[in-house]
């Protein structure tokens, strides 16, 4: 097959990161999959996204407006002009296949594939499929899932795992962080707290309150990635016992440092924690679309790699209870770490691309 393949990855980081991971594979082995070139299609507002600052292929920028609010009535008119530009550009670049990573920003690419009869493939990151997947599944040739879908959804596809960027993948797959924890020793347990790129005030406040417990403070060391917008606020409220970081472009050292991760339950964070064999305490974002973070967390918990806290407040009671329960039982962390690693798929990016284009390999 000649022509190019395009990856529509322009929404949030949860759509961009796995899209970039697929682009890495395609850029490296493009001829093996029967194409001449690979492109990423992303929103202009994502130009400062760390994954797109040094991309593995050319990024095509667009500015399709978000659907919703007062713009709903006039949305078709706002959408039309950038969509026409997209059509002309894709024709020029000979786009023959489109991979949609989800989110409204993938709509121009997906519509192009449908209208001009190009091959369409979809990647679904969450246990609850997004609107793009639900609406356009019948038009796609193949769909790859990061995690099994919840029972209420019946969409044909293959569960492979969330594609992970090369720079995040550990050098060796093991659970060395928790193998060195032993009962009866004064081991310090490192807790990495991740609120996402925008941060999470709830998580930050919950951790600061948790650290007020003297037993917790004596056993656990916390590192908070607060998000840039919440850094000063969290730093000012901290008593100095926690390591406060606004944002990290390179997450690998943080994962290698950690014994436990406290985080939201977006698919990207889950996939990265799994490949590092990390036990998780998951606090799903309660207002996520279709409550997909809750279902993601429930799945990981059901497999034994995490414990979930479903709360909209920063009350630390349940978190304190969990950490105190683990304080003298490092075997729990080791077992959860083994389970976490067993759920991972470090080769998800290559396997996803191979699944989509297996007839061309």
Annotated binding site: 12-14, 126, 165, 197, 293
Residue 137 to residues 41, 83, 285, Cα–Cα distance (Å): 20, 21, 26
Residues 6+ apart with CB under 8 A from 291: 128, 284
Residue list, annotated binding site for UDP-N-acetyl-alpha-D-glucosamine = 12-14, 126, 165, 197, 293
Determine the 3-state secondary structure of 149 from DSSP.
Answer: coil
Question: What b/e sequence results for 142-152 when a residue is b if at least 16 CB atoms lie within 10 Å of its CB, and e otherwise?
Answer: bbbbbbebbee
DSSP element (H, E) containing 261: strand 260-263
Q: Quick one: which of 284, 225, 234 has its CA closest to 255?
A: 225
Q: For CA atoms 55, 56, 62, 63, give the dihedral sign.
A: negative
Q: What is the separation of C-alpha 131 from the centre of its chain, rounded to a whole number of angstroms? A: 17
- Please give the Cα distance from 350 to 133 (Å, whole number): 21
Angle between helical axes of 13-28 and 267-275 (0-180°, round to 10): 60
Tell me the helix, strand and coil percentages in the chain, rounded to 5.
Answer: 45, 15, 35
Neighbour-count burial of 291, counting CB atoms closer than 10 A to its CB (0-12 exposed, 13-18 middle, 19+ buried) = middle
Q: Quick one: which of 178, 206, 145, 209 has its CA closest to 329?
A: 178
| Residue 327 DSSP code | T
Q: Quick one: which of 166, 178, 238 has its CA closest to 204?
A: 238
- Tokens standing for residue 149: 């879908």
Taken as a whole, the chain contains a residue count of 361
């Amino acid at each position: 097959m000649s022509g190019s393949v395009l990856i529509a990855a322009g929404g949030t980081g949860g759509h961009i990161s796995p899209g970039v991971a697929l682009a890495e594979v395609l850029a490296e082995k493009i001829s093996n999959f029967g194409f001449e070139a690979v492109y990423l299609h992303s929103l202009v507002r994502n130009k400062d996204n760390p994954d797109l600052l040094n991309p593995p292929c050319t990024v095509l920028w667009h500015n399709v407006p978000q659907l919703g609010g007062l713009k709903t009535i006039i949305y078709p008119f706002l959408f039309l002009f950038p969509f026409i530009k997209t059509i002309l550009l894709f024709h020029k670049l000979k786009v023959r296949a489109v991979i949609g990573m989800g989110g409204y920003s993938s709509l121009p690419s997906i519509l192009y594939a449908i209208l001009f009869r190009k091959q369409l493939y979809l990647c679904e990151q969450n246990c609850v499929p997004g609107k793009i997947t639900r609406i356009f599944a019948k038009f796609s040739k193949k769909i790859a899932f990061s995690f099994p879908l919840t029972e209420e959804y019946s969409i044909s596809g293959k569960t492979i795992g969330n594609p992970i960027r090369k720079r995040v993948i550990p050098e060796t797959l093991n659970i060395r962080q928790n193998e060195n924890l032993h009962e009866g020793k004064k081991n310090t347990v490192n807790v990495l707290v991740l609120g996402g790129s925008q941060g999470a005030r709830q998580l930050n406040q919950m951790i600061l309150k948790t650290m007020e417990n003297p037993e917790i403070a004596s056993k656990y060391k916390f590192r908070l990635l607060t998000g840039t917008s919440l850094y000063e606020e969290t730093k000012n409220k901290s008593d100095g016992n926690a390591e406060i970081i606004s944002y990290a472009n390179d997450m690998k050292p943080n994962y290698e440092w950690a014994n436990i991760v406290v985080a939201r339950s977006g698919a990207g964070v889950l996939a990265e924690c799994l490949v590092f064999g990390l036990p998780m305490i998951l606090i799903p974002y309660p207002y996520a679309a279709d409550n997909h973070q809750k279902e993601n967390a429930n799945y990981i918990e059901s497999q034994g790699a995490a414990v979930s806290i479903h709360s909209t407040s920063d009350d630390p009671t349940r978190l304190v209870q969990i950490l105190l329960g683990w304080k003298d039982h490092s075997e729990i962390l080791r077992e959860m770490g083994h389970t976490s690693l067993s759920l991972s798929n470090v080769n998800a990016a290559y396997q996803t691309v191979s699944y989509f284009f297996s007839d061309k390999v």
